[in-house]
Amino acid sequence: MLVILKLFDIIALLNQATEQKKMTKQLIKVDCRKCDNTGFINAFNHVKRGICFQCSGHGFQMLKNKPRIQKRYRIGFLWADKDHCNYNNGEILMVWGAQGYASLPAANRKAEAAMRINGSIEYLVELVKEEI
Ligand SMILES: [Zn+2]
C-alpha cells in the first residue's frame, strides 16, 4: 500500500513539473509581415473586411519558437558584347533562378558556374527576400 502511495506521489510530482515547464515557456511577439503590422490587407477588403488571417487582425503574432529567417538571393550578369541577346545597355541584368537561392555561397557557386558558359564578364548576387 505504501509503495502504491509513493508511486502516486511521484506521478503527481512529474505532472506538476510538466505543467510548470509549459507555463514558463515564453511566447515571442513577432510583427506580422503579411499585413505590415496593420492587421488589415486592403486587397482583401471584400473578405471579412480585409482582416489579416495570419495575425487575426492584431498586427502581431505570439510564437512559441523563434521565427526562422529565410533568405533568398538572386543573381545577375553583365554582358559587354552589344550583340549578345542579354546585353542590357552596359548594366547588370538580374535573372531569377527559379525561386532564388537559399544561401549566399550557393548563389555565388551558381553564378560562377553560369558565368563560365554564358559569355558574361561579371556577376552580382543580391538579397531579395528575407522572411519568416
Ligand atoms: Zn497580419
pLDDT, tens digit (0-9, with 9 covering 90-100), for 6-28: 767 766 766 776 666 665 678 98
Q: Which helix (H) or strand (E) holds 14?
A: helix 2-24
pTM: 0.51
Q: Separation of 44 CA from ligand 1 center, angstroms? A: 12
Q: Separation of 15 CA from ligand 1 center, angstroms? A: 36
Q: Work out the pLDDT band at 65, boundaries 50, 70, 90.
A: confident
Nearest residue to 52 (alpha-carbon basis) of 64, 40, 60: 40
- Residue 12 corresponds to which cell in the numbers above? 503527481
Averaged confidence pLDDT in the chain = 85
Indicate whether 58 and 81 sit together in one domain: no
DSSP-derived 3-state class of residue 110? helix
Q: Separation of 27 CA from ligand 1 center, angstroms? A: 17
Indicate whether 78 and 59 sit together in one domain: no
Residues with a beta carbon under 5 angstroms from ion ligand 1: 32, 34-35, 52, 54-55
Q: Which one of 36, 66, 96 terminates a domain? A: 66
Q: Separation of 61 CA from ligand 1 center, angstroms? A: 8
End-to-end Cα separation, the chain, in angstroms: 55
Q: Separation of 30 CA from ligand 1 center, angstroms? A: 10
Indicate whether 59 and 92 sit together in one domain: no
Q: Separation of 78 CA from ligand 1 center, angstroms? A: 39
**Cα 37–41–47 angle (5° rounding)?**
140
Q: Separation of 42 CA from ligand 1 center, angstroms? A: 12
Q: Could you tell me what percentage of the chain is helix, strand and coil, using 3-state DSSP and rounding each to the nearest 5?
A: 35, 25, 40
Q: Separation of 72 CA from ligand 1 center, angstroms? A: 22
| Host domain of residue 95 | 70-131
In the chain, the number of structural domains is 2
Indicate whether 57 and 78 sit together in one domain: no
Indicate whether 59 and 84 sit together in one domain: no
Q: What is the pLDDT of residues 93-118, one digit of tens each?
A: 988 665 788 889 989 999 999 999 99
Indicate whether 85 and 120 sit together in one domain: yes
Q: Separation of 32 CA from ligand 1 center, angstroms? A: 5
CA distance 52 to 71: 23
Residue 73 confidence (pLDDT) above 80: yes
Q: Work out the pLDDT band at 80, boundaries 50, 70, 90.
A: very high
